[in-house]
Amino acid sequence: MAASAQWSNPAEDIPAYNAKPPIKPMKPVLSGNQLTGEYFSHPYQVTSYQIAAKIPAVLHQQPCYCHCDRAMGHNSLHSCFEGTHGATCSTCMKEAVYSYEQTKKGKTPAQIRAAIERGEWQTVDLEAASL
C-alpha cells in the first residue's frame, strides 16, 4: 500500500527543490528490471518510474510534499525515483504523474511547481496514469 504524508498548510512549508535545471548529470531514475519485486506490485508504480525517467529535469525542479527532504535528505522530487522510495509513496507518484501531464500540456517547471504548491497534484488518479 502506498503512503502519503499529510501537512496542514503546505504553501507555508515548501519542501526542497531546485529552481533551475540541473547543470551536471543526475543520478538515474530506476528503470528496466529494477522495476520489479515487492516495491512494484502495482502497474502504477512502474508507470510512475517510467514517467519520472521521461522528465528528470522537470522533477529536479519540483518539491516533494511527503517531506522526504527532511527524513531522507532528498533535494527534489527527482530524488524519490533514484531509489524505491517513490514506489512506496502516493505523494511522490501523484506529483510525478501530475508533472508529466502538465509538461505534455506545455507548462514550464516553474508553472508546474506553483500548481504543486497549491496542491493540484492531489487530484491525480494513479490507477488511470499512463504514458
Would you list the domain boundaries of the chain?
Answer: 40-128
What string of pLDDT tens digits covers the 131 residues of the chain?
Answer: 444 444 444 455 899 999 999 999 999 999 999 999 999 999 999 999 999 999 999 999 999 999 988 889 899 999 999 999 999 999 999 999 999 999 999 999 999 999 999 999 999 999 999 87
C-alpha cell at 90: 502516493
Give the whole-angstrom CA distance, residue 72 versus residue 106. 31
3-class secondary-structure state, position 80: helix
